[in-house]
Amino acid sequence: MKKSLSEWKLLQVLAIAFSLLLVSCDGQPNRDYSPTTELVAVSFDTGFEQADDTWNSLSIASDGKIYYSFSTVEVDQGAQFYVFDPVTEQIRFLGDFTELTDGDDPPSIPQGKSHGNFYEYEGKLYISTHVGVHGSVEDGELAITKKGYLPYPGGHFLSYDLSSGEFEHLGTAPANEGILTMTMDTDRGHIYGITWPFGHFIHYDVHAGKLNDLGLISGRGEAGRPGDDFRVLGRSMFVDPDDASVYFSTADGDIYFYNPNRGSIDRMDGVNLRLDYFGTHVVDRPGSMAYGWRQIVWNPFEEAAYGVHGKSGYLFRFDPRKPSLEIVERITSEPSKRSGMFDAHYYGYLGFDLGPDNETIYYLTGGPIYVDGVRLTRDNNTELGYHRKVTENLHLVTYHIPTGRYIDHGPVYHENGSVITDAQAIAISPNDSSVYTLASFMRNNDMETDLVRISDPIANR
């Protein structure tokens, strides 16, 4: 499955290939971290040549199958939706998000992404779509145009019936915005989203069939003017199943909640994310998630949420009922801890979830690569012939909440020896004791993005 490579992708290919050739004097790969075991990943060939880096968009349904989609940055190609059966190891194409929602006569800027996970409710998967062709924002409108194409029509909520295979269009985001962030109250049938680039908070009631726009949540979002009203938008929310409130964070470090029974968005008092451990951030400039959390999940046993802060990589526990927020542990890879580096991916990592036991956090994070004993950084990698984006190893880290046990299970390598990167999704399957992700790696002398399976080191020990 070959893909069209931009210049930076090509340079990343060269960087990864070069790192695999580097050996120390004893003939072993020149790695900073040498655990007792390494994790070997197996990839599956989906066959989508235009697959680009994918964010979330990977979930396990009650039928035990893995549902996922691939993003694309092509103006004439929509994101593709698939299902993988772990028993037969067969992949089935389910649909093109643009064709399912907007059609192509006349063509519009496509639905190039699904930026959220998929949520199951009453036998259906609920899905959101997002724009994949990014451009500048001018005068409050997406400046993404091409002759012969209509403007981007806005992201959509849709459902997929697991039994019949039928799709249903539910609603369209306001103001031609994409849907960047999605979560769902799977007890009551309420879907929540944050749009891009301005950052509207939207609420869709499945039973009422109604979509509400609650307005902007943080400045003018990523359409704002840097140095003024620009604010990076959060990529993760969670629902407290007890009272139906949904929580999200902002770049400023504030935590907000929305309850559909009250119908208003409120800021939490007495608790925020402006912690010294998270670093110091200029909130009105792009380049990081600032003080906002990167990913967060609800722990039903403790009735509290666990999240990770992007860039610093600190795990924290947030109890919205007290309220309180406390640092738990830095869960970056062991080599990252020892070198003192921030996350190489400046937003942090989305591959973070609670395992089937509801006690173990699984986290796909990065680890530094060394060349002749020198760690690649943003300062020296261009001198070594690398692009400014730092190439890194993928590590699987687990954290057992009751015992506080942190384990870096080591770097993950493709079965062909390739370094795996850009893993921004995770699904932990109890059925075949595996961890799934969507990631990039070298295959057939090309950089490819595909479905990857890693044996679960916790379930298989």
pLDDT for res 106? 78
Name the pairing type of β-strands 39-44 and 405-414.
Answer: parallel
Give the chain's domain count. 1
- Structural domain span for residue 373: 1-52+310-461
Is 97 within 8 Å of 147 (Cβ atoms)?
no
Specify if 289 maps to a domain.
no
pLDDT for res 380? 57
Specify if 63 maps to a domain.
no
Complete DSSP assignment for 209-259 = TEEEEEEESSTTGGGSPTTTT--PPPS--EE-TTT--EEEE-TTS-EEEEE
Name the residue among 347, 343, 326 with its Cα closest to residue 275. 326
Specify if 260 maps to a domain.
no
Specify if 93 maps to a domain.
no
pLDDT for res 36? 46
Mean pLDDT, 10 residues at a time, over the chain (461 residues)?
Answer: 43 44 33 57 96 94 98 92 98 97 85 97 98 65 64 94 98 95 98 97 98 98 94 98 97 98 96 97 95 98 97 97 97 94 92 97 93 73 44 92 97 92 96 96 91 95 81
Is 330 within 8 Å of 362 (Cβ atoms)?
no
Distance of CA 370 to the CA centre of its chain: 26
Specify if 332 maps to a domain.
yes
pLDDT for res 136? 54
Cβ within 8 Å of residue 309, ≥6 positions away: 273, 278, 289, 291, 293, 294, 316, 348
Specify if 420 maps to a domain.
yes
pLDDT for res 8? 40
d(C-alpha 32, C-alpha 313), whole Å: 19
Specify if 205 maps to a domain.
no
Specify if 94 maps to a domain.
no
d(C-alpha 143, C-alpha 138), whole Å: 6
Q: Which amino acid is at 44?
A: F
pLDDT for res 16? 45
